[in-house]
């Protein structure tokens, strides 16, 4: 019966994880969940002072190491990959979370906004996974696969009301990359799944979640009547990284309180 116990089935203890964009928002929620449960976590983001300070703060609860890098560039990605390879012989969990959004009316949508969104959300996710494949393979086994967890969005599952056209399409690409890579990497005992978050408070969502009134407006569109909380995100990320999810591959899991299936309430 021991293999059915939570402590065995949902454990991430002793695993090595990399969370891109782990310095704040959703990446930080995931990093906290792993660290609180005994994983060693690398976080990466552009602003080195913030990345290092957050790693230092999290280090009081477990092992957290900062490797600052701009993942939208080849140099940044190579720096991160080299930094991990210097320190680790295997990587159990890769969370491709770093992402950017750009909003503008359709008629004047700038090419720069398109490129910034796709370069980080889609291209860097693919290339980083490619460049870390040997470390992921080193961690992978038939009984306990290595994990790639991509952060998509409900905006990639249904058409959003906001003017973020390339962002929504980039997140649909993240979801399909998840399936395409799951088929390829599953054979190597690496599962690839995506989390499609609904609204969680972060810098990215500050513009529509910065007051109680706006939060209440968004909550009205949600069957469970609220926005996402850090533990909601940590919970799904822990599950996907644990033995409990070792037979889940190529899934895109909405974590949105039911917003995308809701046709009975308001939209936001
Ligand atoms: N919050 C939500 O409600 C929500 C909903 C659906 C999907 N998502 C997705 O969740 C992910 C995280 O979003 P968030 O809301 O937590 O956003 P956020 O608060 O803006 O955090 C983004 C993180 O990514 C880092 N980052 C940004 N550009 C980077 C780059 N070029 N290279 C490396 N790191 C970079 C940021 O740090 P630096 O600025 O220092 O680089 C930060 O750590 C994104 O993929 C987003 O699309 C969020």
Find out whether 146 and 187 touch, Cβ atoms under 8 Å: no
Q: How sure is the predictor about 30, in pLDDT bands with cuts at 50, 70 and 90?
A: very high
Is residue 237 scored above 80 in pLDDT? Answer: yes
d(CA 175, CA 161): 19
Residue 267, domain member (yes or no): no
Stretch 5-26: mean pLDDT = 97
Q: Identify the CA nearest to 245 among candidates 237, 254, 257.
A: 237
Is this prediction's pTM over 0.95? yes
Q: How far is the CA of 6 from the centre of ligand 1 (A)?
A: 30
Structurally, the chain folds into a number of domains equal to 1
Q: How sure is the predictor about 264, in pLDDT bands with cuts at 50, 70 and 90?
A: confident
- Which residues of the chain form beta strands (DSSP E)? 16-20, 40-44, 64-66, 93-96, 146-151, 190-197, 252-255
The single residue of 114, 167, 239, 247 carrying the catalytic annotation is 167
CATH of the domain at 222: 3.40.50.720
d(CA 206, CA 118): 21
Residue 200, domain member (yes or no): yes
Stretch 13-21: mean pLDDT = 98
Is residue 19 scored above 80 in pLDDT? Answer: yes
Residue 268, domain member (yes or no): no
| pLDDT at 268 (0 to 100) | 72
Give, using CA atoms, the residue closest to atom 25 of ligand 1.
21
Per-residue pLDDT tens digits for 154-213: 999 999 999 999 999 999 999 999 999 999 999 999 999 999 999 999 999 999 999 999
Residue 266, domain member (yes or no): no
* Spatial CB neighbours of 266, under 8 Å, sequence gap ≥ 6: 217, 220, 221
Q: How sure is the predictor about 267, in pLDDT bands with cuts at 50, 70 and 90?
A: confident
Stretch 148-157: mean pLDDT = 98
Please give the number of the atom of ligand 1 that sits closest to the Cα of 43: 43
Q: Which of 14-23, 27-36, 69-78, 216-225 has the lowest mean pLDDT?
A: 216-225
For residue 167, indicate whether it is catalytic.
yes
Whether residue 47 has its Cβ less than 6 Å from ligand 1: yes
What is the sign of the dihedral through the CA atoms of 158, 170, 235 and 52? negative
Domain that holds residue 95: 2-261
Number of Cβ within 10 Å of residue 112's Cβ equals: 10
Residue 131, domain member (yes or no): yes
d(CA 255, CA 245): 16
Residue 28, domain member (yes or no): yes
Phi then psi for 135, rounded to 5 degrees? Answer: -70, -40
In percent, the amount of the chain with pLDDT more than 90 equals: 96
Whether residue 151 has its Cβ less than 6 Å from ligand 1: yes
């Amino acid at each position: 019966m021991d293999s059915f116990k939570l402590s065995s089935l949902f454990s991430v203890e002793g695993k090595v994880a990399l969370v891109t964009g782990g310095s704040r928002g959703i990446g930080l929620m995931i990093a906290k969940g792993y660290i609180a449960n005994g994983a060693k976590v690398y976080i990466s983001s552009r602003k080195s002072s913030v990345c290092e300070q957050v790693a230092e703060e999290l280090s009081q609860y477990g092992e957290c190491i900062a490797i600052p890098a701009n993942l939208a560039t080849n140099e940044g990605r190579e720096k991160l990959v080299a930094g991990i390879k210097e320190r680790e012989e295997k990587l159990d969990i890769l969370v491709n979370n770093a992402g950017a959004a750009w909003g503008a009316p359709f008629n004047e949508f700038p090419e720069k906004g398109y490129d910034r969104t796709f370069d980080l959300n889609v291209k860097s996710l693919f290339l980083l996974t490619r460049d870390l494949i040997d470390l992921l393979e080193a961690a992978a086994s038939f009984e306990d696969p290595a994990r790639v967890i991509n952060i998509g969005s409900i905006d990639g599952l249904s058409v959003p009301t906001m003017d973020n056209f390339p962002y929504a399409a980039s997140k649909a690409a993240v979801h399909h990359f998840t399936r395409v890579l799951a088929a390829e990497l599953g054979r190597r005992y690496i599962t690839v799944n995506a989390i499609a978050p609904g609204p969680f408070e972060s810098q990215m969502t500050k513009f529509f979640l910065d007051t109680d009134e706006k939060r209440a407006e968004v909550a009205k569109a949600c069957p469970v009547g609220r926005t996402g909380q850090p533990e909601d995100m940590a919970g799904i990320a822990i599950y996907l990284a644990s033995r409990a999810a070792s037979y889940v591959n190529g899934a895109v899991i909405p974590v949105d309180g039911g917003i995308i299936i809701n046709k009975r309430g308001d939209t936001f």
